[in-house]
Homo-oligomer: A and B are copies of this chain.
Amino acid sequence: MDATATFTSTDRTLATRYRDVRQFSETLAAPLTPEDCTVQSMPDASPTKWHLAHTTWFFETFLLERQPGYELFEPQYRVLFNSYYNGIGERFPRPRRGLLSRPSLEEILDYRHHVDDAMAVLMELDETIDSRTRQIVEIGLHHEQQHQELILTDIKHVLCQNPLRPAYQRSPRAVASGWIGNGHDNSIVRSAISPDWVEFDEGTYSIGHGGTDFAYDNESPRHRVFLESFALASHPVTCGEWLHFLEDGGYAQPSLWLSMGWSTVCDQKWNAPLYWFPWEDQWWLHTLAGSRPVDPDEPVCHVSYFEADAFARWAEYRLPTEAEWEVAAAGQPQTGNFVDTLLNADRALHPSAVPVGNPRPRTLHQLFGDVWEWTSSPYTPYPGYRAPDGALGEYNGKFMCNQYTLRGGSCATHSTHIRPTYRNFFPPEARWQFTGLRLAREV
């Protein structure tokens, strides 16, 4: 797959990874009722059932239905679970996905297993499997990992529409012991915005994907950019810092905002990040593990590009470009709070407060995991980029308009699904992802 992705893998690894990734989707759905899995809370989000089916449709459509002798599980699923591939044909309209009470969750799990069985047979044929097939399996798995993150962000949005405020996670350790234990009082703004800075020299750098590991087409080609010297904050912006912005009237001063951002603030009556709510003289937030007071030490989350940009202007700094971010991230250890590490530790799926103690000064923390970091870069094709031919060419390129790139992954991203060159993208008004920010400045 010359254009969409490049990667290396062995078949044994692939089959194992296939099983692991596919299983993880079902693990994420396990705490949910059939009713939870059916609801669509807004056109931008999809029901869990739909995610479970669409990721399966991907393998069936791009691989299995081309295999001689393969029988479609249900021919109507071809339309029902096509997301946006004009090249494949008709699609059931996205805003109506929540109207599909059938197929049931159970039938969709059957569909998954039907496809998994056929995929297992396909991948057993060690000798004859061609590299194109391997590539599509690999894309399918990364595709599924993207939807795993969406399963979490979309169900969080569903559950938060409900005045009963049900939790996705019942009793993770983080909620029981975390915030309440550390005795913070979030009604006090503890400090102004004075991050530690890590500096980088001016120069012509190369960014973008250049190796043979898997990467999406939108990360290529690797190319040169000239950067003036710059500095990045050592940590993402915290809720404590955000409270400062909020209490300084940040949501009420048009001069801090982009024009479209200010319109959105006024129309949507935004006065805090999504999922924040005032209660008994404090700001609280809804998490996947239930509601609790805002922790001033945790990275702020569920803010739009508009808010991130306004905050940076208020703080008299700016957001980094995606080139700056990538240059800074190159060579950094890719550790952090990811969905798999958090679940394994029975912790809440939420950005984590900076650990108490002595973080090394002047190094970059929490670049990976916790929150996706908005960059100031619109999502555009890299110089020389050309979308692959065929329906899979619709994967990335056609969305390069009116969106901004985000970097680094979040607490809902799988640790095997991130890299320094990874480009996530959302429109500037989107808030339901785990999105935060890190400040930058000129040197």
| Interface set of A (CB-CB < 8 Å, partner B) | 33-39, 41, 49, 76, 79-80, 84, 86-87, 92, 96, 98-105, 158-159, 161-164, 166, 204, 223-226, 228, 254-255, 257-262, 376-378, 380-381, 383-384, 393-394, 398-402, 428, 442
Closest to A100 in B: B162
Which of B39, B226, B402 is in CB contact (< 8 Å) with A99?
A: B39
User: Within the assembled complex, what's the spacing in Å between the Cα atoms of A257 and B397?
Assistant: 10
Instruction: Determine if A255 and B87 form an interchain contact, defined as CB atoms under 8 angstroms apart.
Output: yes
- Which residues does chain B contribute within 8 Å of A98, judged by CB atoms? 39, 98
Nearest CB on B from A88, distance (A): 11
User: Within the assembled complex, what's the spacing in Å between the Cα atoms of A166 and B103?
Assistant: 9
How many copies of this chain does the complex contain? 4
Instruction: Determine if A76 and B164 form an interchain contact, defined as CB atoms under 8 angstroms apart.
Output: yes
19 additional contacts, CB 8 Å, given A80-B164, A224-B226, A377-B380? A33-B34, A33-B104, A34-B35, A35-B102, A35-B105, A36-B102, A38-B38, A86-B255, A87-B255, A99-B162, A101-B159, A102-B159, A102-B164, A103-B164, A228-B384, A258-B398, A258-B399, A376-B381, A401-B428
Nearest CB on B from A296, distance (A): 29
- Which residues does chain B contribute within 8 Å of A49, judged by CB atoms? 35
Instruction: Determine if B383 and A380 form an interchain contact, defined as CB atoms under 8 angstroms apart.
Output: no
Instruction: Determine if A84 and B162 form an interchain contact, defined as CB atoms under 8 angstroms apart.
Output: no
User: Within the assembled complex, what's the spacing in Å between the Cα atoms of A257 and B394?
Assistant: 10
- Which residues does chain B contribute within 8 Å of A225, judged by CB atoms? 226
Which of B80, B164, B223 is in CB contact (< 8 Å) with A228?
A: B223
Which of B102, B166, B393 is in CB contact (< 8 Å) with A255?
A: B393
- Which residues does chain B contribute within 8 Å of A105, judged by CB atoms? 35
Closest to A42 in B: B99
Nearest CB on B from A268, distance (A): 16
- Which residues does chain B contribute within 8 Å of A103, judged by CB atoms? 164
17 pairs across A/B with beta carbons < 8 Å?
A35-B105, A38-B101, A39-B99, A79-B163, A80-B164, A84-B259, A99-B161, A100-B161, A100-B162, A225-B226, A226-B226, A257-B398, A258-B398, A258-B399, A377-B380, A378-B378, A383-B442
Q: Could you say which of A98, A166, A384, A402 has the most chain B C-beta atoms within 10 Å of its C-beta?
A: A402
Instruction: Determine if A376 and B380 form an interchain contact, defined as CB atoms under 8 angstroms apart.
Output: yes
User: Within the assembled complex, what's the spacing in Å between the Cα atoms of A255 and B96?
Assistant: 24
Closest to A389 in B: B255
- Which residues does chain B contribute within 8 Å of A255, judged by CB atoms? 86-87, 393-394
4 cross-chain pairs, A with B, having the tightest CB-CB distances, nearest first = A378-B378, A226-B226, A86-B254, A35-B101
- Which residues does chain B contribute within 8 Å of A381, judged by CB atoms? 376
- Which residues does chain B contribute within 8 Å of A79, judged by CB atoms? 163
Closest to A399 in B: B259
- Which residues does chain B contribute within 8 Å of A258, judged by CB atoms? 398-401
- Which residues does chain B contribute within 8 Å of A204, judged by CB atoms? 204, 226
User: Within the assembled complex, what's the spacing in Å between the Cα atoms of A380 and B378?
Assistant: 8
Instruction: Determine if B33 and A162 form an interchain contact, defined as CB atoms under 8 angstroms apart.
Output: no
User: Within the assembled complex, what's the spacing in Å between the Cα atoms of A98 and B40?
Assistant: 8
Instruction: Determine if B380 and A41 form an interchain contact, defined as CB atoms under 8 angstroms apart.
Output: no
- Which residues does chain B contribute within 8 Å of A261, judged by CB atoms? 401
Which of B41, B102, B402 is in CB contact (< 8 Å) with A402?
A: B402
User: Within the assembled complex, what's the spacing in Å between the Cα atoms of A377 and B262?
Assistant: 23
Instruction: Determine if A80 and B163 form an interchain contact, defined as CB atoms under 8 angstroms apart.
Output: yes
- Which residues does chain B contribute within 8 Å of A92, judged by CB atoms? 163
Which of B35, B96, B262 is in CB contact (< 8 Å) with A104?
A: B35
User: Within the assembled complex, what's the spacing in Å between the Cα atoms of A158 and B99?
Assistant: 7
Closest to A87 in B: B255
- Which residues does chain B contribute within 8 Å of A224, judged by CB atoms? 226, 228
- Which residues does chain B contribute within 8 Å of A402, judged by CB atoms? 260, 402, 428
- Which residues does chain B contribute within 8 Å of A377, judged by CB atoms? 380
Instruction: Determine if A442 and B84 form an interchain contact, defined as CB atoms under 8 angstroms apart.
Output: no
Q: Could you say which of A100, A159, A384, A399 has the most chain B C-beta atoms within 10 Å of its C-beta?
A: A100
User: Within the assembled complex, what's the spacing in Å between the Cα atoms of A162 and B100?
Assistant: 6
Which of B80, B101, B226 is in CB contact (< 8 Å) with A36?
A: B101
Nearest CB on B from A423, distance (A): 15
